[in-house]
Amino acid sequence: MKPAQLLFFVLIILGSVAGGFYASHLYSDRTGVVKTVATNNDQMQHPYRRPDFSLPDLDGELQSIDNWNGQVIMINFWATWCPPCRREIPAFIRLYENYRDQGFVIIGIAIDDPQSVQDFIDPMDVNYPVLLGEDTGIEITTAYGNRLGVLPFTAFIDREGRIVHTRRQELSYEEAEALIKPLL
């Protein structure tokens, strides 16, 4: 098979998978999908309460989103195979270091297998909680407003548990900081 043909088939398969995920989430109401009130291509604003969930951490301990009640929460959905996700993590490490003492937490939800996540975050010295989403993480990201199922996807939650912003693209340190500072 020629490289161009192989690329064509890979693109067709990826498009089909993405379309299937989109269609299944578009027509599914089982996750309590958050309705958006204002959108553009990069950012959405929501006045809605965050959906509850529990996922295992890297030690296999089940962690509930309720563990961080009363804090400003930035939930970042990511995967090791996603280049923009990988690029933004160093900024998030710095952001968490600078603001965690002010009641701010980042929760990374990896849409990936446990070993790939562990192999990626160990050398990076990720200093914030990382949970293993795998397939359940896809349902959770949809419940948080990620209708298209894209990664990276980040939700910003105020101290009262309301989703106040979502972002479906790579974030810089400055962009994330501008969204969390008013919430602190």
Residue 15 pLDDT > 70, yes or no?
no
- Give yes or no: residues 76 and 19 share one domain: no
Domain enclosing residue 26, as ranges: 1-30
CB 157 within 8 A of CB 73: yes
Same domain? For 109 and 18 the reply is no
Say if residues 133 and 77 touch (Cβ distance below 8 Å): yes
CB atoms within 10 A of CB 73: 23
Please give the average per-residue pLDDT across 84-105, as a whole number. Answer: 97
Residues 103 and 170 in one domain: yes
Per-residue pLDDT at 21: 43
Residue 40 confidence (pLDDT): 37
What band does 177 get if pLDDT is binned at 50, 70 and 90? very high
Query: Comparing 26-35, 51-60, 84-93, which segment has the lowest mean pLDDT?
Result: 26-35
User: Do 21 and 51 share a domain, yes or no?
Assistant: no
Same domain? For 109 and 91 the reply is: yes
| 88 lies in the same domain as 145 | yes
| HEC readout, 10-44 | HHHHHHHHHHHHHHHHHCCCCCCCCCCCEECCCEE
Look at 8-17, 140-149, 167-176 and tell me which has the smallest mean pLDDT: 8-17
The CATH number assigned to the domain holding 79 equals 3.40.30.10
Buried b or exposed e, range 117-130, using 16+ CB within 10 angstroms: beebbeeeebebbb
Rounded (10°) angle between helices 83-99 and 114-124: 50
Looking at residue 157, what is its pLDDT? 96
Q: How many domains does the chain have?
A: 2
Q: By the 8 A CB rule, do 34 and 51 touch?
A: yes
